[in-house]
Structure 1
Amino acid sequence: MDYLNETIDPSCLHEPPLALDVIHQLDMFGVALYSILTFMASVSLLLYLEECVYIYKNVPSPKKTTIIWVNGAAPVIATMSCLGMWIPRATMFTDMTSNSYFAVVIYKVLILMLEECGGDEAFLRYSESQMFRINTGPCCCCCLCLPRVPVTRQMLFLLKLGSLQYAIMKTVLSIFSVVLWTNGNFDLSDLEITGAAIWINPFIGVLTLISLWPVAIMFMNIRNTLRRVKIIPKYAMYQLVLILSQLQSAIISILALDGTIACAPPFSSIARGSMFSQQLMIIEMFIVTLVTHKLYRRTYDLITLDPHENDNELNKMVKLHTASLEEHVA
């Protein structure tokens, strides 16, 4: 065992390097790579700020607040990944900030679909005779025997609560994890039964699945109604950010813990895996930002009914927006 320890570079057992150490070890390729990735993250943030100004001027409340929250998922993750790339020891803080923000976005996606329907009251009024499917992912996609449920105010409250709980609990557990980490009790590489990470992370995973279910139920049942506002590609972008920020990062972390991602001084295996994850995230979130900028930067006008249109779903959507307009006028 002592012989094996002597063959391991001491830096592979140390904490992630300081920011100055990262800068000093960069070669020409590293400088070019870090510069390009920083530029991508900066452009993502600037595009988001420009989009916020446009949404604020052209969209009425409260929809504009919801759109700004949802539209900020990719730029916020890209910005935090860029900070974590330059300052490796801040990775835990940047990752938890990104994850906590996205936890709120999951709830806001549900609210956005309701507001595109004209609000809660309009949604309930024109969905009271419908029955919603609940056998959808990620919890019950295989449970075909589950009955359809009526659309009621109580059912809508439960859907909102299911998504809201994750936004609250994720933030609370993130703060708790940081407190434990400062005391030396939280370590992602500690997989023993006495470690805090082995209990907190699976619990967060369960809360995540519970929060995704209500959003999937709402989308599966009203996607045709909201097709004219491009809800399907918007939902696809939300799902893509979810997969990249959660599943991809988890896979890279497992590979780093397993030693598949080799140590490269001054980066240990875990720190190097985290660096790879952040660099990939910046590129991916930059592309997602460009797509979402195109989807959300549109003219937000009330949809009018075409007398030659026989699409029942379009008629339903027009009624929802008309009811919402009548409520504002009243």
Structure 2
Amino acid sequence: MNETHCSDEAPTSEEMIQVIRSRNDIWISVLIGGILSILTVLLFIEIVYNITRRQFYSASRTIIIVLLAIYPVSSVTSFMGVIIPRASLVANLTASFYYCICLYLFVVLVIDYYDGVDCMQDKLKGRHISLARPPIACCCFCLPRIEMTRNNFHNLRLGILQNAIVRPASLFIAATLWADGTTKAVEAYLYINAITMISSVFAVYSLAVIYNASKIPLKDFMITPKFIAMKLVMLVGNTQHFILSLLAYIEVILPCNPPLNTQTRANTIYNMLITYETFIMLLLGRIFIYIWREKQQSSSESLDRMTEAVAITETKTCCNQKVGLSKSQENCAMIEIPPEETPENKLGC
């Protein structure tokens, strides 16, 4: 390890571009990351276009679009952190603020699907929910089962929204230490990432309890893929960041490689992973939406065929019952079957 030529400061964008050009493996990785970042933005635009074309304007549609934007926001900010290493903390701080918005809006979306907290209480009344949920208490079967009262829901909501305060505040402190140029910034960054990861784990746990209570009542609203998307974004990013910061601190797998110090290398690897992973997650989400839409369309066509068959059968029955009537009365009109009611956008009380 060549520590004498390693600076505590992150390289400038010009120095980083020279490093990228000097090594073909880094150049190819960054090029793929840039292409995937652009594809993530284009794929998000295509999904938004389909949503706005197929779904009428509503508060839930706006929230879903904002939640989906977490992928292009993460991809673009992470790629900027690769090209401009000194802006890596600023880019992560920007993405964290957007995570805060998405966490809050996810809770709002669940409440909106229930048509309000009061309706949610009525819908979940009498249903007891297990607190033995991952990632904290999956094996704690001795925990009591709770009822989703207004107070319990408020506590779970606070468990989610605390991450919306802790994560950006922690990254703000890290950015402040980095701007001050203190030599203990790497060590402090490790502890800050540990606090952020613990906060995210508690947020995911609270989210899992709410999901466990809502997965059956809200199954028609595709609540499961929405929950999985939020869970992956929160856990994968924080876990990777903590592990890479730990490796940078002990300088075992990520030694200094001038002009990239250990923390810069950890941040670069983290940002590249986020750029790759966000595209994969958004692509998988798009494929899932397509498959779900095809199933919905096929089930709708089957329902139409069944309705038509029932109408024909009832018409024949009607005509057979009127055998004794005159010929003018024997011609029975087809019985009109009222169309099935379209499910509302909310469950209602």
TM-score surpassing 0.5? yes
Question: Could you say what the CA RMSD is over the residues aligned between the two structures, in angstroms?
Answer: 3.4
Any residues of structure 2 matched to 1:150-299 within 5 Å, and which?
A: 150-184=147-181, 187-191=184-188, 197=189, 200-259=192-251, 260-295=253-288
Q: TM-score, normalised by structure 1?
A: 0.77
In the alignment, what sits opposite 2:32? 36
Inter-partner Cα distance in structure 2 for 1:322 and 1:65: 17
Query: Which residues of structure 1 form unaligned runs of 5+?
Result: 1-6, 192-196, 309-318
Residue 240 to residue 143, structure 1, CA distance change in 2 (3 Å): same
Residue 186 to residue 59, structure 1, CA distance change in 2 (3 Å): farther
Inter-partner Cα distance in structure 1 for 2:153 and 2:268: 41
In the alignment, what sits opposite 1:23? 17
Inter-partner Cα distance in structure 2 for 1:261 and 1:172: 27
Residue 289 to residue 262, structure 1, CA distance change in 2 (3 Å): same
Q: 2:79 aligns with which of 70, 79, 82?
A: 82
Cα deviation code 1:196-245 (max 9, x no counterpart): x5765444444333322221101122223333443333333332222321
Q: TM-score, normalised by structure 2?
A: 0.74
Inter-partner Cα distance in structure 2 for 1:283 and 1:141: 30
Counterpart AA for 1:153 = R
Counterpart AA for 1:275 = T
Cα deviation code 1:292-330 (max 9, x no counterpart): 23445777x9x99x8x9xxxxxxxxxx9x6594778xxx
| Secondary structure of 1:11 counterpart | coil
Structure 2 contact 7–259 (Cα < 8 Å) conserved: no
Inter-partner Cα distance in structure 2 for 1:120 and 1:296: 28
Query: Which residues of structure 2 form unaligned runs of 5+?
Result: 307-340
Structure 1 contact 44–289 (Cα < 8 Å) conserved: yes
Counterpart AA for 1:84 = G
1:147 aligns with 2:144: yes
| Secondary structure of 1:146 counterpart | coil
Structure 1 contact 261–272 (Cα < 8 Å) conserved: yes
Greater Rg over alpha carbons, structure: 2
Aligned length: 303
Structure 2 contact 78–274 (Cα < 8 Å) conserved: yes
Cα deviation code 1:36-58 (max 9, x no counterpart): 21111111123223434444552
Any residues of structure 2 matched to 1:45-64 within 5 Å, and which?
A: 45-56=41-52, 58-64=55-61
In the alignment, what sits opposite 1:102? 99
In the alignment, what sits opposite 1:312? none
| Secondary structure of 1:190 counterpart | helix
Residue 179 to residue 189, structure 1, CA distance change in 2 (3 Å): closer
Q: 2:123 aligns with which of 126, 142, 146?
A: 126
Which structure is richer in relative contact order (CA contacts within 8 A, separation 6 or more)?
A: 1
Structure 2 contact 36–275 (Cα < 8 Å) conserved: yes
Counterpart AA for 2:227 = Y
Inter-partner Cα distance in structure 2 for 1:94 and 1:322: 40
Residue 291 to residue 186, structure 1, CA distance change in 2 (3 Å): farther
Residue 157 to residue 60, structure 1, CA distance change in 2 (3 Å): farther
